[in-house]
Amino acid sequence: MSEVTVIGLGPMGAALAQTLLHNGHQVTVWNRTVERAEPLVQNGAILAPNAASAIAASPVTIVCVANYKTSYSILDTPDVTAALAGRVLVQLSTGTPQEARDNAAWALERGADYLDGAIPATPPQIGRPDTTIFTSGTQTAYQKSELLLKSLAGNVPFLGEKVSAASSTDLAFLSTLFGSMMGFFHAARILESDGLRVDEFGSMISAIAPAMGEMIKYEGDMIHANTFDQPQSSLNTCLVTVKMFVEQAREAGINAEFPTFALGLFQKAVDAGYGNEELGALVKVLR
């Protein structure tokens, strides 16, 4: 018996398995393309001949493949489901909240203790103390896999038994990240249009990131309380800035799709009568 099995050895799965090995865990691996397992075997991993024997080798199995469809193609066979009974299945493949609910029901029907997880990180970040893995599912599945997961990431919050919570939180994180990145990419064009350095601005943003996080936390508190009537920064005030984005793009001859999209939402919120409310009141037009 090994401590943990890793199924799926793409860039992320291989990073998970390698980090587990580096931290002294006994690891069994399996991948549809056997060649991907060779570097891990050289570092001490045990290569299972098939998925069923891989799962049978450990009390905890981590699945990290491209998506849930691929996961089902591996797991949903009689020999594999028989091996799953009585074991912990940690699903770290990419999926939606509904897919998490469906996969949890599928696993529990087959006698497995189920934990859904999401990794808001890149493979090189695995194993770092500042890396996060969101988890949700049964309390027992979390407890049985906690030490393993904490060797993969310094921050492994258990978000509760609502199994979709990890996926929803990950999508919320990615929405925040991609939205910020879109803003940064437009910022790059603003800077380039005036002959300024984008790399220096990137360093500046990194330095002031805690202040930006504080602003986001404040808006989150306001949205949760649904209280917008004592604005630190009103929608009317912010609308002036968004209009400047559009005007600067026109003056500099750069792409204006991002600020134009934002302007539409801000204008919709102001037209609905939210102009004197906190910036977070923009969420009302998204509800």
Same domain? 115 vs 252? no
In the predicted model, what is the mean pLDDT of residues 99-124? 98
Domain end, chosen from 143, 161, 179, is at: 161
Query: Looking at the structure, do residues 24 and 123 belong to the same domain, yes or no?
Result: yes
Q: What is the CATH number of the domain that holds 211?
A: 1.10.1040.10
Q: Is residue 84 located within the same domain as residue 124?
A: yes
Residue of 225, 183, 223, 175 lying closest to 202 (CA atoms): 183
Based on the domain organization, do 117 and 197 belong to the same domain? no
CB 117 within 8 A of CB 90: yes
Same domain, 224 and 174: yes
DSSP for the chain reads --SEEEE--SHHHHHHHHHHHHTT--EEEE-SSGGGGHHHHHTTPEEPSSHHHHHHT-SEEEE--S-HHHHHHHH-SHHHHHHHTTSEEEE-S---HHHHHHHHHHHHHTT-EEEEEE--S-GGGTT-TT-B-EEEE-HHHHHHHHHHHHTT-SB--B--S-TTHHHHHHHHHHHHHHHHHHHHHHHHHHHHHTT--HHHHHHHHHHTHHHHHHHHHHHHHHHHHT--SS-SSBHHHHHHHHHHHHHHHHHHT---HHHHHHHHHHHHHIIIIITTSBGGGGGGGT-
Binning pLDDT at 50, 70 and 90, where does residue 181 land? very high
Domain that holds residue 20: 4-161
pLDDT of 82 > 90? The answer is yes
Do both 106 and 200 map to the same domain?
no
User: Do 11 and 121 belong to one domain?
Assistant: yes
186 and 241 in a single domain? The answer is: yes
Final residue belonging to a domain, choices 110, 138, 161:
161
Using pLDDT thresholds of 50, 70 and 90, give the confidence band for residue 33: very high
90/213 same-domain check? no
pTM, entire model: 0.94
**Are 185 and 267 in a shared domain?**
yes
Round the average pLDDT of the chain to a whole number and report it: 98
What is the mean predicted confidence (pLDDT) over 185-197?
98
Average pLDDT for residues 169-196, to the nearest whole number? 98
When pLDDT is cut at 50, 70 and 90, the band that residue 262 belongs to is very high
Q: Are residues 179 and 149 in the same domain?
A: no
**Number of folded domains that form the chain:** 2
Residues 37 and 57 reside in one and the same domain: yes
Instruction: Identify the CATH number of the domain in which residue 115 sits.
Output: 3.40.50.720
Residue where one domain finishes, among candidates 107, 130, 161: 161
Reply yes or no on whether the pLDDT at 178 is more than 90. Answer: yes
CB neighbours (10 Å) of residue 74?
A: 21
pLDDT score recorded for residue 1: 82
